[in-house]
A and B are shown apart, each in its own frame.
Chain A
Amino acid sequence: LPRPYRLWLHSRPVHPGARSPFDRELKRKQKNWAARQPEPERCEYLREEVGGRIADRVFDITRTFPLALDIGCGRGYIAQHLTKETIEKLFQTDIAENALRNTMETEIPTVSIVADEEFLPFKENTFDLVVSSLSLHWVNDLPRAFSEIHQVLKPDGVFIGAMFGGDTLYELRCSLQLAELEREGGFSPHISPFTAVSDLGHLLRRAGFNTLTVDTDEIQVRYPGMFEVMEDLQGMGESNCSWNRKPMLHRETMLAAAAVYKEMYGNNDGTVPATFQIFYMIGWKFHESQARPDQRGSATVSFGDLAKINPLVSETKK
């Protein structure tokens, strides 16, 4: 009989109503371990990419933010892309102190604070900008985390975040599922269902955010095989930390899953893809100056007039 190997897999079952699915202390250990690896840059490509895309969205809002906060910053993947004209002072927080000890260079003056995303140690109405990249998916109470973010924002402040979407790692999820079914007769979830786009919008609105934008992007990374995918996930600090995670993955099941992964999803050149779906969200904290929908019945033109728009425009030009 094969000896089972203890493996931390990237997976987090989240059931509606579950109070604390994740072991935050374990997550901290995993992230600290990842940050302590001899070459942390090796597994940071995903965070770098997404950090850059969040920075783009910050730049798009042509404002200077006197005070900003990066939640779950890791080694600080967003700040390195931004200038001190965009952000004058930045607070970076993460639960893993090792990551904060080794942050990337940025021209922005920063303050690093070890803090849990679920319990932000800041007063209401403090920050002009809050950013968060690929860390909120491990939070136990997401509605509460969004509420806290909304609270620490100043009126007319903005939150720009990125989270993993439902298609993330579907290849790994399916391969493990099928292998476990065939080898063991049943399976436990190893990959989280993730928050759906519609739920995300709903949660942000409930937390008080206005003028929401949520858009999705897909990043596909090529790996030699399934084991390399899992190795890199571990190196990213993305291993499973759910309380009810399956502690062992049988070696035979892993072998079976690797074979299924290659057969079902493999590329022609022998590599396998792993998909990361990213949801980018932007939400604003209300301020009087923000545009509001007009009162019902205040319209001066009707949609029926759309057909006449060309003559209307040329008339006003005269």
Chain B
Amino acid sequence: MSSQGVWVRARERLRRFPELLAGCGEQAAAYGKCVAAMTAGHTELKKEACAAEFEALRDCFRLAAKKNLK
């Protein structure tokens, strides 16, 4: 496996991010709102404070990636 090949494939996978993310707008918004809410006032944003929302986003993303692979 050539190292160049790895980077080409990595770049291609990266390029698909926007279209995959587009299909998960609801989950992305929910995660974003959760994070934004943590930054208001005196609450500190802790690690995995929005874990549930992120899981939903990640699952949606993975599903979209599988579908897209055909």
CB < 8 Å neighbour of B29 from A178, A225, A262:
A262
Q: Does A252 contact B (CB under 8 A)?
A: yes
- Nearest 10 Cβ contacts at the A-B interface: A263-B32, A185-B47, A259-B28, A259-B32, A259-B31, A181-B45, A260-B32, A260-B35, A227-B17, A227-B18
Contact with B35, one of A185, A225, A263 (Cβ below 8 angstroms): A263
Considering residues B13, B21, B33, B38, which has the most beta carbons from chain A within 10 angstroms of its beta carbon? B21
Nearest B-chain residue to A263, judged by Cβ: B32
Cβ A182 vs Cβ B48 within 8 A: yes
Given contact pairs A256-B54, A260-B35, A5 touches B28 in the complex (Cβ within 8 A): no
Q: Which residues of A contact B58 (CB under 8 A)?
A: 252, 255
Given contacts A184-B47, A185-B47, A255-B57, contact A179 B35 (CB under 8 A): yes
Within 8 A of A (CB), among B5-64: 7, 10, 13-14, 17-18, 21, 27-29, 31-33, 35-36, 38-39, 45-50, 54, 57-58, 61
Q: Which residues of chain A (240-275) have a CB below 8 Å from chain B?
A: 252, 254-256, 258-264
Check: A66 CB closer than 8 A to any chain B CB.
no
A36 in the interface, Cβ–Cβ < 8 Å? no
- Please tell me if the beta carbons of A182 and B32 are within 8 angstroms of each other in the complex: no
Contact B48 A258 (CB under 8 A): no
Please tell me if A228 contacts chain B, counting CB pairs below 8 Å. Answer: yes
Shortest C-beta distance, A275 to chain B (Å), equals: 18
A259–B29 CB distance below 8 A: yes
Excluding A255-B21, A259-B29, 9 further A-B contacts by CB distance (< 8 Å) are A5-B14, A178-B39, A182-B46, A224-B18, A258-B17, A258-B28, A259-B28, A259-B32, A260-B31
Does A6 sit at the interface, judged by CB under 8 A?
A: yes
> How many residue pairs, one in A and one in B, have C-beta atoms under 8 Å apart?
78
* Known interface pairs A252-B58, A259-B28, A263-B28; A182-B47 also in contact (CB < 8 Å): yes
- Docked Cα-Cα span, A255 to B22, in Å, equals 11
Name the residue on B nearest A224 (C-beta).
B18
Instruction: List the interface of chain B (C-beta within 8 A of A).
Output: 7, 10, 13-14, 17-18, 21, 27-29, 31-33, 35-36, 38-39, 45-50, 54, 57-58, 61
Asked if A144 is at the interface of the complex by the 8 Å CB criterion, the answer is no
* Known A227-B14, A227-B18, A255-B61; contact A260-B36, beta-carbon cutoff 8 A: yes
Q: B57 to A225, Cβ gap below 8 A?
A: no
Q: Which residue of A lies closest to B20 (CB)?
A: A255
Using Cβ atoms and an 8 Å threshold, which residues of chain B touch A256?
31, 35, 54, 57
Q: Sample 25 A-B pairs with CB under 8 A, ordered by A number.
A: A5-B13, A5-B14, A178-B45, A181-B45, A182-B35, A182-B46, A182-B47, A182-B54, A183-B47, A183-B54, A184-B47, A224-B18, A225-B18, A227-B17, A256-B54, A256-B57, A259-B27, A259-B28, A259-B32, A259-B57, A262-B28, A262-B29, A262-B32, A263-B28, A263-B35
Contact at B54–A254, with CB atoms within 8 Å? no
Name the CB-closest residue of B to A261: B32
